[in-house]
Structure 1
Amino acid sequence: MSIPTEPIGSIPRPSTLQAALAAHAEGRTSDAELAALQDRATAETLTRLEDLGCTVLVDGEQSKPSFVTYPIAGLTTLAADGAVIPFADGHSRQLPVLTAGPFRYQTHADTYLLAAREHTSRPVKQAVIAPSALSLLYPGNGIDGYSREQFLADLADEAEADIRRCLDAGAHSVQLDFTEGRLSLKLDPSGGVLDDFVALNNEVLGRFGDEERAKLGVHTCPGGDHDSTHSLDVDYAGLLPKLFQLKAGNFYVQLASEPDPERVLRIIADQLRPGIRVFVGVTNPIGTTAETPEEVRDRVLLAARYLPVGQLGTCDDCGFAPFADDTSTSRDLAFAKIEARVRGTAMAAAELGV
């Protein structure tokens, strides 16, 4: 037995791909030219992860417009004035808003998985957006002839299909990105929105059997974009007890950037139940320097004081570039952090004798 370690999802795109994305937005690069560069970046990402000794790979989201909007790219029934997500440094991201039903995904995540598997024989993990995030697309004033209840029913069906298609396509695991969980407590400290999010996600997760849920995971973090976060100031104590109510076999929890990781580990230990694994974050993607393997080792050993080693894994706190236009972290720095995670986790496993 060893301690498993996995990436979360996004990795900064190469500069050539960033330039092509900008040119494509201005109509100076064709769809085919952009797709070719995205495929090349995906292949390079997978190769570099293999070379670093990663046993579970991701495609780095080289072809996704963002971790949250990939299912709706190209959807024509959207307006621009949706929910605004403010970040601590003052910048914000704005979601679109749905203008008509029925709601249907335009792209399913298995398309990224199948493309990645063309370039590697190693296990590939696939990240998908949690349905709770997409529930924010429905306008507060409703849509004539398309109720919120019908929208949520359609959304649950689409989210289930997104996950199931990835499992059917051979994903090593499927990770639901649930960054809005912590943010919800900032927007609604009463926890009512979080309860709704958990209920919606469990409606989807509950459609899978025990063996399938062993391959499903949920990722939580305080957001990461342009070296800033949207909810790091929200106390984890309000989120984690409800997070662990989700019907998943794996939990990926941002921890390296927490000011008091031991307090968080105590909360996790209180919520731990048999049959799940907790991957704790041991690298900070928005940090400006790479962790050393020794720093990672010490973070793993600290986690092992609170969590059974047989239920412990490691990960990065979150993706390195969840939005395609985020260039705040260099590609080389991201890979240096990943290498430290892989080596440091192995050093901790050796010290723990697993």
Structure 2
Amino acid sequence: MTLPTETIGSIPRSETLMQAQRQYDAGNIDAATMETFYSDAVQQTMRELEATGSPIITDGEQRKTHSFATYSVESGKNIAPDGLEIPFSDGHVRRLPRLTAGPFRYALSAADTLAMARQYTQLPMKQAIISVSAMSLLYPTDGIPGYSRETFLDDLVDEQEKEIRGCFAAGAQKVQIDFTEGRLALKLDPSGSVLNSFIELNNRVLARLVDAERHAIGIHTCPGADHDATHSADVDYAELLPSLFELKARDFYIAMAAEADPERGLKIVARYLKPWQRAFIGVIDVNDPRIETPEEVCARVLQAARHIPLAQLGTTDDCGYSPFCDDTSTSRETAFAKIKARVEGTAMAARKLTVQRGMLHE
């Protein structure tokens, strides 16, 4: 028996890439030179991910300029930097961009970055994309003259449908929708109305896909991971998970290793997970600088297996590693070591579970 295991997406940028990005932003190097740095970073990252034994890999989101959340609009002409502020537990703040005019269009599609990376590996690839609900936060609360919120949302849904289909066309085996704002929505609005609107908006996109496509879609939820801090870890999973599993997707990547009470969290997952869905449980705390051992990972997998049917169980990391380009809190070496521990610990747990299952059948 094997258990599926997948990386979320982001891998820390090298100092070389970060320096090049700063030089490019300052206008000191041109786009062609920057492309060389991106290409080198993607190839190196994918080689190192292959070396961890990962059965499916990403490009490490090395081309997503400044962050996993804003890659699709950063070079757009109708974007201002003064959007919604997101405070983190250590006191630092990230700020989303603000849409200034319509129509809304992606300036960069993750399908394009995947197409460039696909040539560097024979392994299956997944592609992480930002959710439409996160992107909906770019529309200003006071509106845009001549461009209604309803029209914006229609355009946004169209753009993400194109991105998802483009990822599949470029060779993605899985497309992961980053929904980190799900838990945050409950912090911003404890009534749940914002979360419900986010679920509805994402389902507008998912409803356009055929069953085979939805079966290759995963939803990632976490409380944030930036400079070893979170934005919504204090929000109870009991408030999020019942709504989360209403999304029309098969796979769900759920941060769990850093939870204060993972046993309780696993029970909630088991209660609301639908029979056709699969839960990839986080067994690596990406905000903890300590590298877990395969034995620790194995123990976390076995704990999850006590609650979730094996056919519906997989493993992952709690979040991506350093999903913002200036986050140096986690080194590349640490990230790859943690991923390797997850892969090995998951295989160790699968062997133990196979033996246990065989004993039960004797």
TM range (shorter): over 0.9
Counterpart-to-counterpart distance in 2, 1:23 and 1:104? 27
Say whether residues 1:265 and 2:266 are aligned partners: yes
Counterpart-to-counterpart distance in 2, 1:121 and 1:103? 35
Counterpart-to-counterpart distance in 2, 1:191 and 1:98? 25
SS of corresponding position for 2:218: strand
Counterpart-to-counterpart distance in 1, 2:285 and 2:31? 34
Letter in 2 for 1:24: Y
- Within a 5 Å distance, the mapping from 1:84-233 to structure 2 comes to 84-233=85-234
Letter in 1 for 2:8: I
Letter in 1 for 2:212: E
Deviation of 1:226 after TM superposition, in Å, equals: 0.8
Say whether residues 1:30 and 2:30 are aligned partners: yes
Q: Count the aligned residue pairs.
A: 354
**What CA deviation, in whole Å up to 9, does each residue of 1:276-310 have, x standing for no partner?**
11100010111111000000000000000000011
Counterpart-to-counterpart distance in 2, 1:272 and 1:85? 29
SS of corresponding position for 1:336: helix
Say whether residues 1:15 and 2:48 are aligned partners: no
Deviation of 1:319 after TM superposition, in Å, equals: 0.4
**What CA deviation, in whole Å up to 9, does each residue of 1:203-249 have, x standing for no partner?**
00111111111100100000111110000011111000000000001
Moved beyond 6 Å, runs of 4+: none
Counterpart-to-counterpart distance in 2, 1:247 and 1:42? 31
SS of corresponding position for 1:252: strand
Counterpart-to-counterpart distance in 2, 1:272 and 1:191? 19
Corresponding residue of 1:54? 54
Counterpart-to-counterpart distance in 1, 2:336 and 2:241? 29
Deviation of 1:30 after TM superposition, in Å, equals: 2.0
Counterpart-to-counterpart distance in 1, 2:347 and 2:76? 44
**What CA deviation, in whole Å up to 9, does each residue of 1:63-88 have, x standing for no partner?**
10211111102111112221000001
Deviation of 1:29 after TM superposition, in Å, equals: 2.2
Gaps of 5+ in 1: none
Counterpart-to-counterpart distance in 2, 1:114 and 1:148? 32
Counterpart-to-counterpart distance in 1, 2:171 and 2:27? 36
SS of corresponding position for 2:172: coil
SS of corresponding position for 1:137: coil
SS of corresponding position for 1:295: helix
Deviation of 1:24 after TM superposition, in Å, equals: 1.6
**What CA deviation, in whole Å up to 9, does each residue of 1:323-353 have, x standing for no partner?**
1111111010000100100000000000001
Counterpart-to-counterpart distance in 2, 1:126 and 1:331? 19
SS of corresponding position for 2:311: helix
Counterpart-to-counterpart distance in 2, 1:299 and 1:283? 9
Deviation of 1:28 after TM superposition, in Å, equals: 2.0
Counterpart-to-counterpart distance in 2, 1:99 and 1:51? 44
**What CA deviation, in whole Å up to 9, does each residue of 1:32-73 have, x standing for no partner?**
222111111111111111111111001101110211111102
Corresponding residue of 2:359? none
RMSD of aligned Cα (Å): 0.9
Letter in 1 for 2:259: E
Corresponding residue of 2:244? 243
Deviation of 1:261 after TM superposition, in Å, equals: 0.4
Letter in 1 for 2:216: K
Say whether residues 1:315 and 2:329 are aligned partners: no
Letter in 2 for 1:38: Y
Letter in 2 for 1:31: A
Counterpart-to-counterpart distance in 2, 1:273 and 1:78? 39
Deviation of 1:172 after TM superposition, in Å, equals: 1.0
SS of corresponding position for 1:40: helix
**What CA deviation, in whole Å up to 9, does each residue of 1:75-123 have, x standing for no partner?**
1111222100000100001111111111011111111111111100110
